[in-house]
Every structure is written in structure tokens, then in C-alpha cells.
Amino acid sequence: MNTDQTAAKPNFDMQQATEELLRLARANQEIFAEALKTPGDVMSALDPLNVGGTLTEAAQRMRFDPARLMQANLDLWQQHMQLWQSVSQRLMGQPAAPVATPERGDRRFRDPEWDTNPLFDFIKQSYLITSRWLVGTMAAVEGLDDKTLRKLDFYTRQFADAFAPSNFVWSNPEVLRATIESKGENLVRGFENFRRDLERGQGRLQITHTDPGAFEPGRNIAVTPGKVVYQNELLQLVQFAPTTAEVYEKPLLIVPPWINKYYILDLTPEKSFVRWAVERGYTVFVVSWVNPDSGLAGKTFDDYLTEGVLGAVDAVTRATGAQEMNVIGYCIGGTLLAAALGCMAARGDRRISSATFFATQVDFSEPGDLQVFIDERQLENLDRMMEEKGYLDGQAMFTTFNMLRANDLFWSFYVNNYLLGKEPVSFDLLYWNADATRMPRRTHMYYLREMYLKNNLVKPGALTLGGVPIDLTKVSMPIYLLASREDHIAPYPSVFKASHLYTGPVRFVLAGSGHIAGVINPPSQGKYQYWVNERQEGQVGELADWLNGATEHPGSWWPDWDAWLAPQSGPKVPARVPGAGELPAIEDAPGSYVKLRSS
């Protein structure tokens, strides 16, 4: 026996690790006891997402078709028999092709032992077979309407993701190896991380995605120089300092979503769309929405339109003296911008000469995965939840978006933070994602009911905002419509629908990647790609025809947008200094509103 190797082998003391975990568990009893007293947990117990009703309806439908259920069980049994045969062949030293393999990009099974160790390979394949069988069986339930079927599929996948073997100590080779090598210290650290996140969430698990002290707006993110030149209860307007001697005559106003901070467009200097646009000679203004508290509970969607978008347009006009400008709307900020353009069209206000939309839905007939959270019962529960404070806490939306990509945004951090006992890495995008904002009750409920539930924004005259009926077919300026191919929040087929609403020329562009990375893709990184269809420029046809005729271009779409917007931005004029016009500077960018945190 090699004594040196024996001495080097870690000695795992199970009793010591167990006693330490029990100590930590006892320390958490007070947290859990307090959590059970909160109204939010009572509401959760009452199934605010209406999952129970969906599952009950599916179970009743399955009872009426026992033959289909029997066939599904037979199929599952046959696949497991194939797996046993494959494993047996492999154990006897014979080559055997896997019965089930992870999908491309599935990072749960990236540890080599999932493939090289026969036991873990069997666990992995058994899970993949069973989870895919479960999802497929539920998706085949007949007699359900499309909305219920989508909700059933979504929550079935959530259930399947939760029970992945990678989420448990004894069935994850990486975690098991770390537990043995560290004598259980990883689990002790993980439980401390778990306790910290429970305390931070006041009894609810608020998982940490990145080091909260690693970034600070104005210090190492949101650092493009500029001044706040206007503010009201809802927004600060930031004008960024020029870096060129001359700028285009028409300024550029950006309306970001109010459910996040604006600095997604101004992260680090290398990733900043704002900085890049300034360097191209645009006078850039950005709306920085306030993080509302109960004092703004009465603010409505109409207020966000009139005091927000239209208030910002007025301020840009005063700050520059320009009578025309270009605008950008991102996500829900783009939805608000579309409504504002409809309002301005009804009033005959022509100060906006072109509009760009990033990942924006205006037709919500097929709104993507978020629709599973929106039905009448869920909205009633949500409204009651907001009743006391008058706003939706930012953590609620943070959790909702994490559910849309549970493996990437929840379970991977669950394994890293709590099972491996590691601290999350510092990542600017994840810091921004966790910097959640609140939403006034009346504004949020109007948006969900009128847009998602009733799809009234695309119905001429169905909504009255700013004192006028909204009709998007009256919007006739040139439109740049950007969608992302892998966007789960604003799916590109849904974004594309807007191309048939506006009566002006539309340039539809499809970017690679998702809701954030597809938009924030600077040319210097050389990542992803985008597609355009020059043959349908200005008059976009059906989506299938557009896709068939589209041409792929490597890298960022930003230069394509610049080439589209520059000719519409007027002649060059001397660069404008923030605060030198009619509106004096109030404070340095990024301003105080963006620094207001929810917790």
C-alpha cells in the first residue's frame, strides 16, 4: 500500500458535518417561524399562480383517455429497458450508444463524470428519459385550450427542472467530490449562504447572483459622462456629454423599461450602447425612471405616458431647441413609447421623426412565456398582494423572470452557492438584473390587463391615453424594429407583428441571442449575428417569407442601425453641452434616481 497516497486521502467526518448542519438549521428556525406569519406566505399557500387548477384540469382530462396514458407508460418502460441494456453493455466493456443525451447548451451535466462514470451516466440518462416523458405526456393532453396547455407545459418543465439530479448532493458528482475533499465544508458554507439569502429576503429565498458590493452606478457602471437636466416625480432626464466636435441636429431620446434601471444600456464602457451612440455623433438623452414607493402608488399608465415620455420629449425640445428628434424604446419602455406615438399622432404632434424599438411587444396575442402568469385569477391575487403597499416589490418581478430561465438563473446558482458553497462571481449584467425596481399598483395592473389580457393597444380606439383615443395605424414615421431570436420575454414572432400595425416604412432586424445579449452586443466583441431582408425593406410581408429571404450578417446589428438612423438625423451642428441650453444641469450623471434601491 502507498502510505503517501493514504495520508493524502481526505478524511470526511460525516458526524462532524451533520452536527454543524444541524446547528445551522436550528439557527434558522426563527427565520422560518417569522416567515410563516407574513401575509405573502399565506397568499402563496393559496396558490396565487393558479397552478393547482391547471394541474387538476389536466388530471381530469387524462382520466378520460386511459389508453393514451397506458401507452405513455409503456413507452417510458421501453426506454428504461433500453437504458438498462446500454448500461449492461458498457459494464461488460462493450461500446454502447447513449439512449438520452442532454440538449446542446445544457450546463447541468458539464462535469466529465456525468459521461465517464457509469453510475452517474445512468442517473443522468434516467432523469432525461423520465423528464422528457413527463413533459411530452402532459403536452399531449387533449381537450385543453391553448393558454391552459401552455401553462401546463411551463409548470411541468419547472417541476422537471427542480428534480434534476444535479440539484442534489449525492447525485451530483461535482458536489459529492467537493464534499469529500473539503470534509463537508462546502455544505457548511452553503448553508451559511442559504441563511444569508433567507435573511436578506426576510424569510423568502432571495438568491444572490453576484457580489452586491462589486458594482455601483457612477463608479464602475453607468459611467458615461453627462448631466441630469430635468426631473419630475417619475423620471430624471440624463443628457450625455458629447465626444465629437459636431453632432447630428436631431437629438436621440431613449425610453428604457421602468421595471429595470436604465444602465443596461450603459454598463461598462466596453458594453455601453449609450457611449457608442455618443461617439457616433448623436446627442443622447435617457429617461432614468424613479424607483417608486408607496407615495407614488396612485401613478397610472397614463401618468407614465404624459409625465414620462411626453414630459421627456418636452424637456429634450427645451434643452436643445430642436423641433424634431429620434426615439428608442426598449421592452416595456417601447410599449409605452408606442402608446405615446399613438397619442402624439392623434394630437398632430410631429416632433418625433423616427422610432426604434428594442425587443418590444405591442401586439400581445402571442406574448411568450410571461403569459403563463397572467389570467384573471392570477391578476386578482396580484392586485390584492399590492393593495397594502400600493406597489409590486421589485423582488417579485426578479423572481418571475428567473422562473423563465430557471436552470440558468436559479438552479445553477442554487448548486454553486448552496451545494458547492461558493460565492458568485462579479458580473455587471447580473448586478443590473438584481437591481430590481418596484411598480405602482395602478400602472402595473393597467398594463397587465389592457395589454397582456385584453390586447387593447392594437385595437384602434380601445384605449384612451393623454385624453385621446390611441390608434397605432396613425403612426407613420420610419420604424426600426429589432427582435432577438432566442428572446423568451418578447419572442421575435410577437415583436414582428408590430410591422403590420404602423403605416410608415419598417425595417425589421432579427438579432442573435436573447432579450438582453441580443440588444447589448457591441461591435468590438464580434459576437452573434443578425438577419435582414433587404427585399422587404419598408414593406414587411409575412414572417415566414421574411425569414426565407433574410440574409445573415456576422457580429453586431449596431452599425446597421447607425447606417439607418444617420441619414434621418439631419445635418451636423456644433456639439451641445449638457446644461448649457434652456435647462440647467441639476446633478452629474447617472443621477440620484438610478441609485434608489428596493432593498
First to last CA, the chain: 58
Are 248 and 281 spatial neighbours (Cβ–Cβ below 8 Å)? yes
Residue position matching grid coordinates 405526456? 137
Identify whether the C-beta of residue 43 lies closer than 8 Å to the C-beta of residue 393: no
Options 331, 339, 355, 385, the catalytic residue:
331
Which of 330, 213, 360, 334 lies closest to 265, judged by CA? 330
What SS3 class is residue 537? coil
CA atoms of 400 and 394, how far apart (whole Å): 10
Which of these, 353, 21, 390, 408, lies nearest to 183 by C-alpha position? 21
Helix (H, G, I), strand (E, B) or coil at 326: strand
In 367-391, which positions are buried (b, 16+ CB within 10 angstroms) versus exposed (e)?
Answer: bbbbbbbbbeebbebbbebbeeebb
Amino acid in the structure at residue 46: L
DSSP state of 423: P
| Annotated catalytic residue 331 | yes
> In the numeric block, which cell numbers belong to residue 371?
403569459
How would DSSP label each residue in 37-89? TSHHHHHHHT-TT-HHHHHHHHHHHHHT-HHHHHHHHHHHHHHHHHHHHHHHH
Dihedral (Cα; 205, 448, 508, 279), 10-degree rounding: -60
Residues labelled as active-site residues:
331
